[in-house]
Structure 1
């Protein structure tokens, strides 16, 4: 049975990174079934960059509402069995989709599978470090550790069974930060998590993504409250 994959790329004023991000999906060793770019009211060149890929992507423009609303727009449009989230400034390694599909076919009980990742500079060829994600053996431990600590893995590394979003609900629109953390807490109670211990994403560290780290404890606590 063929597993279909949708990749959603929420983008707000990251037009200067967007082409490289889209290209990283197009370069997959296992082609995805659809790429959905959600422009969250960008005022830069995002629409122009996206327009040059209209033969390969679906482009959705919406008024600015934050990452959660952009992700929800992508989920509602997606048709794949599995949904991947790729931030518009991050990159997939070429075998990311292939390795995750191999994993879920061997572990059919898993509803979410994530990976390690590289932290890179503004130039994605500059690898700063390899980030190793946490892993636990059962849902109860996952829920306990998530509530005790924090996010534990990067959203751009995830592949999630699409139907689960309609079981636990979509991303909370009121969460402008830590919306991924809130989602992982809810999903931990609904499905098993799987882990591929390979760095299959490049997470780009640059000045534009530092703002949301100003009050991490406050953001995490709000995410816990809304579960």
Structure 2
């Protein structure tokens, strides 16, 4: 099986940590491919040259989707695992996921639960990857295992996307009839940093619009089903919003005596007022 790491100007220490986590897997054999997507930072380029135990590929800067596709097209493994150059696998990641994917032909994607590290810590809380919910929101980590045969058949990541390329790819695999499974073990560490690619992409309205267009463009046989699932996911989102409002009302009711008792506390009053303003904006 093959791990493909796309790199663009990644700080050397983070790059070495990601690569070390890939080459140190307890499962074997493992091929590790690092694709340099046209890095211009001399420290990154030097660190790439010094990597050991990997197959290094260099290309002009064309984006992470292109870098992943390039590396995966050169991979020798029958299973593929993308890994961002600043994230980390626990040593037993492949030992846990590979047998599960190989043991169930109906599965298209296998991943594990994850933890944040860097500027945020704690477990990554994602809903189960059901197909209707995936139309509205990605609930599968970008680092998840899938089959090389599906990559070849469905064409891999959409290189026209400037972000959310993993969301579109997972959705394409699910619409093709595959299933996704998330193992309970926390074997993937997802780095949070202010300058991370996801932090900048997630706030881009243009990137979201391009994602929706790509989902429809790449799945023409599923247009009606996509529309139905979009409405279903909207219903789920509205239900969650109403549930949150009920919790706010419950909290406000029980905090009433506290507010009266600590009426002289400006800080507490300000906090309660913020909750009330949030509730009023929902109506």
- Shorter-chain TM range is 0.7 to 0.9
Would the aligned equivalents of 2:90 and 2:187 in 1 still touch at CA under 8 Å?
Answer: yes
Note the C-alpha offset of 1:94.
1.1
Alignment CA distance shift 1:95-1:33 (3 Å): same
The alignment partner of 1:59 has SS state of strand
- Of 199, 204, 214, 2:186 maps to 199
Note the C-alpha offset of 1:46.
2.5
What do residues 18-47 of structure 1 show as CA deviations (whole Å, max 9, x unaligned)? 101101112211134210000000112223
Task: Give the structure 2 partner of residue 221 of structure 1.
Answer: 212
Would the aligned equivalents of 2:5 and 2:33 in 1 still touch at CA under 8 Å?
Answer: yes
Gaps of 5+ in 1: 137-141
Task: Give the structure 1 partner of residue 71 of structure 2.
Answer: 74
| 1:83 corresponds to 2:80 | yes
Q: Matched residues in 1 for 2:146 and 2:102: separation?
A: 13
| 1:6 corresponds to 2:6 | no
Note the C-alpha offset of 1:104.
2.3
Residues 3-82 of structure 1 mapped to structure 2, 5 A cutoff: 5-16=1-12, 17-44=14-41, 45-54=43-52, 56-82=53-79
The alignment partner of 1:195 has SS state of strand
| 1:130 corresponds to 2:126 | no
Using structure 2 for the length normalisation, give the TM-score: 0.70
User: What value does the CA root-mean-square deviation take over the aligned residues?
Assistant: 1.8
Would the aligned equivalents of 1:36 and 1:57 in 2 still touch at CA under 8 Å?
Answer: yes
Alignment CA distance shift 1:144-1:110 (3 Å): same
Q: RCO (CA 8 Å, sep 6+): is it higher in 1 or 2? A: 1
The total of aligned residue pairs comes to 211
What do residues 151-182 of structure 1 show as CA deviations (whole Å, max 9, x unaligned)? 112112x0110110122112111101011111
| 1:180 corresponds to 2:177 | no
Farther-moved stretch of structure 1 (60-69 vs 11-20): 11-20
Would the aligned equivalents of 1:39 and 1:61 in 2 still touch at CA under 8 Å?
Answer: yes
Q: Matched residues in 1 for 2:107 and 2:81: separation?
A: 15
Note the C-alpha offset of 1:51.
1.9
Task: Give the structure 2 partner of residue 101 of structure 1.
Answer: 98
Alignment CA distance shift 1:40-1:202 (3 Å): same
The alignment partner of 1:198 has SS state of strand
What do residues 62-104 of structure 1 show as CA deviations (whole Å, max 9, x unaligned)? 0001111101101111110100000001000111000002322
Would the aligned equivalents of 2:108 and 2:174 in 1 still touch at CA under 8 Å?
Answer: no
Structure number with higher strand proportion: 1
Indicate the structure (1 or 2) with the bigger Cα radius of gyration: 2
Would the aligned equivalents of 1:8 and 1:85 in 2 still touch at CA under 8 Å?
Answer: yes
Runs of 4+ with deviation above 6 angstroms: none
Note the C-alpha offset of 1:195.
2.0
Note the C-alpha offset of 1:222.
3.7
